[in-house]
Every structure is written in C-alpha cells, then in structure tokens.
Amino acid sequence: FWWLAALSVVIGFTFSPLLPLGTTITVHECKARELDYGRVRLWGSLAFILASYGAGWVLDGTSTEWIVWMLFVAGIVNFAITTRMPDPQTDRPLRSGSSLMYLLRKPVFLIYLACIGFAQGAHGTYYAFASVHWESAGYSHEMIGVFWSIGVIAEIVLFAVAGRFVRGRHPGILFAIGAGSGILRWIVLGTTDNLWLIVLVQPLHAMTFGITHLAAVSFIARAIPQQLATSAQSLMATLSMGVFLGSSIWISGPLYEQFGSQVYYLMAVFSAISMGFAIVLTRTWRGEDQTFCN
C-alpha cells in the first residue's frame, strides 16, 4: 500500500500540472494562429472515447496486468508529444510578487473561480456513483457504457460547432447556461432510473461540462494577460477539478450510502449556486480585455 501511495503522490505532482499548462499553451496558440479552441479541444474528448473502448477491447482478451503496460506506453507517447509542443514567448512579468496572490486579491477572479468551482463540483456524484447506481438499477455494463458515451459524444459535437456561438459571448452567460442545464440534469437523474429519460438528459453533459469549460477558458483568454495565464489556469484547475470536485466526491460517498440517487439533488444545489455566481459575474465584469493589467 505505502509503495503505491508514494508512487501516486509522485505521479500526482508531475502529471496534474500538465492539464493547466497544456490548456494555457493551447489557448495562446489558438489566439496567435486564429484557431477555434473548441475544435482543437474536441480531440481530447475523442481520444477519451477511443482510449476507453480500446482499453476495454484489450482487457477483454488479456488480463488487468496490461493496464500498467498501457499506461507505460501512453506515458512514453505523452512525453514525446510534450517535447514538441510550442513554447509561447511572453513579456516580462506584469508585476513583482506572487501572481497567485495577485489574482486571489481580485474580487472578479474569485467570482469566476466560484462559477467554475461549483459547476465542476456538481459532477461529483455523477463521476463517482453513476455507474454504481445504474448497475444496481439493473442496467448492463454495455448500456452503462452507452450512457457515458452519449455524454462525451455530445461534448465533442459541442466543441466542434460552438466556436461561433461562444465567440463574443459573456462567459457569465455561458456559465449560466451550463448551470441551468445542470439543475435539470441532476434533478432528473436523482428522480428516475427510466432508460429514455437518462438517454434524454445525458447529452446535457455538453452543457454542464463542455460549455462550462469553454466559459472558463474564454474568461482567462479575454480577461487575463499571457503573463498571468498559467497562474490563472493552475488556480482554476486546482480549485475546480481538485478542491471542489474532490470535496464533492468525498461528500457524495456517505450521502449516497444513505440516500441513494437522491444525492443528485445536492448536485442540483451546487449548479444553482454556480448560476448565482454567474449572474453576479455578468453584472460585475463588463467583458473588458486584459482586465488584470492594472
């Protein structure tokens, strides 16, 4: 156990920063080369589907020991790709001192963090217990895989076509759309196990995750100069996918044990809180570019 725990800590420290750093570089290059960020990002979602089904296909004919070797090969490929990534050049830092503390002293940025934090935290029960609950409701592993795939495919479609819609839209409006979709989605999943209702709301993953992600990236691209972008992405990823989502999953455990799928109602409350902060964001930030230059 302790060897695996130590290895997990090392992997966590080295692998986790790849997401915010990669997103920062991608956003910078999309702006510099006038590319549609959504159409670039969709390849990550597509790779998720291919890796999931590919790994399942391999494991059906082999054993679980192959998981380690697949991760090893993926790590080598990932290393090779990162050595070929562009190195965006930035000017001198905008100010001395900690960029993180500078950002955390900005009320608008804190409102933004609350929007994305509660929006991502609202997925805690879904990520941790959706498969467990669907299996207990009598659905096969194949059908559960279909449920997950519907959500990710909808996310891919959104990333492919959302460029024109997102461009120029206030991130607060996008956050509100994602939060409203979350309220509907989590209430339905907490209320019923009906096949067709699950199929009907699963495409809302494109809104609860996809549009929320685009809103988060759009805010950083528009409001924060390149010199602070990496710090902003790191804070966003650490708090939303780490603190908020991790706490939500931890809370969902004992609540699911006692209340079952009704714990989704708490996720609907998180989405409602995110919507509240989204409304505040639209009223306190007018959409100025490079808001934090001063």
Domain membership flag for residue 209: yes
Domain membership flag for residue 35: no
Domain membership flag for residue 284: yes
Domain membership flag for residue 192: yes
> Token match 């500078």: residue?
102
Q: Which domain holds residue 205?
A: 99-293
Torsion of CA 247, 253, 258, 259, to 10 degrees: 70
Domain membership flag for residue 39: no
What mean pLDDT is predicted for residues 66-88? 86
Residues 6+ positions from 42 with CB-CB distance below 8 Å: 155, 156, 159, 160
CATH code, 285:
1.20.1250.20
Q: Say if CB 131 and CB 257 are below 8 A apart.
A: no
Token pair recorded at residue 4: 């695996």
Question: How many independent structural domains does the chain possess?
Answer: 1
Residue 266 has pLDDT above 90, yes or no: yes
Domain membership flag for residue 219: yes
- Which tens digit of pLDDT belongs to each residue from 124-146? 999 999 989 998 999 887 788 88
Domain membership flag for residue 113: yes
- Which tens digit of pLDDT belongs to each residue from 170-223? 999 999 999 999 999 999 999 999 999 999 999 999 999 999 999 998 898 888
Domain membership flag for residue 19: no
